[in-house]
């Protein structure tokens, strides 16, 4: 009796770890600057499935940008063409436990781009995608790309092509893992996420050769040899692994040709954010001088807090908690105590606190200042 309970418990634990040993893109860095957990990322909204592979097969629209990936998030991060992008992957979106992806999940990594005219109206699914980076098995290092990702604390860095025209882009990460591909069944797992970028690049329009341009869903033929590779049997040093999807296209340009032919108008992170949590930003409440305006400011604060919690992705709501404790609770207390004059105290001061989870291994000097919390603020948003 006792031992059977123990057995059931350990079985349950085994299943729990199976279901969470997957991965999700949580954080984007631009030239080593942390943009903030969840900021500019179209993350699945449900925490319990956010790390799961795409369900519904190769024809699912989720193949484009993952679950909930058809919906834009509020912020779009500015990045110069040619700049360094780093993608952080976690097994637990909120970093409540360490790890980037289960070591059994051997497979490839790839990065795609799609030029769009608007984040809110253009569809992620459909034509216009091209690959700028891919890695399958590194025969020199004798490692799969996902093993190198684990070695690098879940951080994957690439450079954006220098020859990208200025404009809005979706950048898409795709991990294809072969842990569930055997002689008996072929069930490759696709881990797909997107981030929203405004790329400051060259003038002109983007000309991608037609053989390098794909529609997603539709970029993967179910018969592609990269989907049926049996990691338990095939030796990638003998049978080279071929990554799925088109050949990469990497347009280069003389960077002296860079010009801002277009300024970012959508998805700007407001310069007056006092605190940011993923794609939410808290701004100063209206000034108050009497009982009525005090309570109105308090209500404004709590309404912002409500929006913060509602928008918080699975990376968490630490920023919301700080807003609640250090802003709303303080104002509410002041109103209740009759301190209605000259509020709020410290108006306009940024809440200079750590909202994001520490980066394992680190890609940036962890300076706790507003520049790090807010990333590069767009100069045109004032």
Ligand X SMILES: *[C@@H]1O[C@H](CO)[C@@H](O)[C@H](O)[C@H]1NC(C)=O
> Which spans of this chain sit near ligand X (rule: CB under 6 A)?
180, 185, 187, 260-263, 380
Contact call for residues 363 and 155 (beta carbons, < 8 A): yes
Q: Smallest gap, in angstroms, from Cβ of residue 184 to ligand X?
A: 8
Q: Which two three-digit tokens encode residue 283? A: 């701004």
The whole-angstrom separation of Cα 232 and Cα 235 is 8
Judged by CB, which is closer to ligand X: 12, or 260? 260
Using DSSP, state whether 58 is helix, strand or coil.
Answer: coil
Residue (10 or 19) nearer to ligand X, CB = 19
CB 278 within 8 A of CB 313: yes
Q: Report in angstroms how near the CB of residue 188 gets to ligand X at its nearest.
A: 9
Closest distance of CB 265 from ligand X, Å: 9
Nearer to ligand X, 71 or 380 (CB): 380
Cβ proximity to ligand X, 187 vs 291, nearer residue = 187
151 backbone φψ class: left, alpha, beta (φ>0; ψ -120 to 50) = alpha
Half-sphere exposure of 137 (CA within 13 A, CB side): 18
* Least Cβ distance, residue 360 to ligand X (angstroms): 26
Min CB(227)–ligand X separation in Å:
12
Question: How many secondary structure helices (H) and strands (E) does the chain include?
Answer: 8, 15
* Joined tokens for residue 121: 């109206």
Question: Which residues are 177's β-sheet partners?
Answer: 107, 189
**Per the structure block, which two tokens stand in for 254?**
């003389």
- In the bound complex, what is the minimum distance in angstroms from residue 261's beta carbon to ligand X? 6
For ligand X, give the closer residue by CB, 19 or 349.
Answer: 19
Q: How far is the CB of 121 from ligand X (least distance, A)?
A: 21
Task: Name the 3-class secondary structure at 130.
Answer: strand
Q: Is 161 within 8 Å of 132 (Cβ atoms)?
A: yes
Nearer to ligand X, 70 or 263 (CB): 263
158/202 with CB nearer ligand X: 202
Nearer CB in complex with ligand X: 27/177: 177
Task: Tell me whether the omega of the peptide bond preceding residue 277 falls within 30 degrees of 0, making it cis.
Answer: no
Distance of CA 246 to the CA centre of its chain: 23
In the chain, which residue ranges form alpha helices assigned H by DSSP?
Answer: 2-20, 62-65, 145-151, 225-228, 291-311, 318-323, 329-336, 370-374
Quote the least distance from Cβ 132 to ligand X, whole Å: 26
DSSP SS3 for 379: helix
Residue nearest to ligand X (CB): 187
Least distance to ligand X, CB of residue 205, Å: 15
* H or E stretch at 169: strand 167-177
Q: Which is nearer to ligand X, 239 or 380 (CB)?
A: 380
């Amino acid at each position: 009796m006792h031992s059977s309970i123990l057995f059931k418990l350990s079985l349950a634990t085994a299943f729990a770890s199976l279901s969470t040993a997957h991965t999700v893109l949580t954080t984007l860095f631009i030239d080593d600057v942390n943009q903030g957990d969840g900021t500019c990322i179209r993350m699945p909204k449900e925490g319990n499935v956010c790390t799961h592979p795409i369900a519904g097969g190769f024809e699912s629209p989720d193949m484009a940008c993952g679950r909930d990936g058809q919906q834009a998030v509020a912020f779009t991060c500015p990045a110069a063409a040619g700049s360094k992008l780093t993608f952080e992957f976690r097994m637990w979106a909120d970093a409540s436990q360490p790890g980037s992806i289960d070591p059994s999940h051997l497979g490839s990594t790839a990065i795609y781009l799609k030029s769009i005219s608007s984040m809110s109206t253009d569809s992620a699914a459909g034509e216009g995608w091209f690959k700028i980076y891919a890695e399958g098995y590194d025969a020199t290092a004798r490692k799969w790309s996902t093993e190198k990702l684990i070695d690098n604390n879940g951080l994957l860095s690439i450079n954006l092509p220098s020859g990208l025209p200025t404009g809005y882009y979706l950048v898409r990460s795709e991990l294809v893992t072969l842990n569930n591909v055997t002689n008996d069944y072929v069930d490759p797992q696709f881990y797909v996420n997107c981030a929203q970028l405004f790329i400051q690049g060259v003038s002109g329009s983007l000309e991608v050769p037609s053989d390098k341009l794909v529609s997603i869903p539709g970029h993967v033929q179910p018969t592609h040899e990269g989907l049926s590779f049996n990691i338990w049997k095939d030796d990638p040093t003998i049978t080279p692994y071929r990554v799925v999807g088109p050949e990469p296209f990497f347009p280069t340009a003389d960077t002296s040709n860079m010009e801002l032919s277009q300024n970012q108008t959508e998805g700007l992170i407001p310069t007056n954010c006092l605190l940011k949590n993923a794609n939410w930003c808290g701004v100063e409440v209206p000034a108050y001088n009497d009982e009525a305006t005090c309570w109105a400011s308090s209500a404004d604060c709590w309404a912002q807090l409500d929006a913060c919690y509602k928008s918080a992705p699975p990376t968490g709501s630490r920023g919301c908690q700080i807003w609640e404790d250090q802003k709303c609770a303080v104002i509410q207390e002041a109103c209740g105590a009759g301190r209605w004059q000259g509020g709020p105290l410290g108006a306009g001061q940024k809440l200079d606190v750590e909202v994001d989870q520490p980066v394992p291994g680190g890609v940036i000097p962890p300076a706790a200042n507003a520049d790090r919390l807010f990333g590069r603020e767009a100069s045109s948003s004032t």
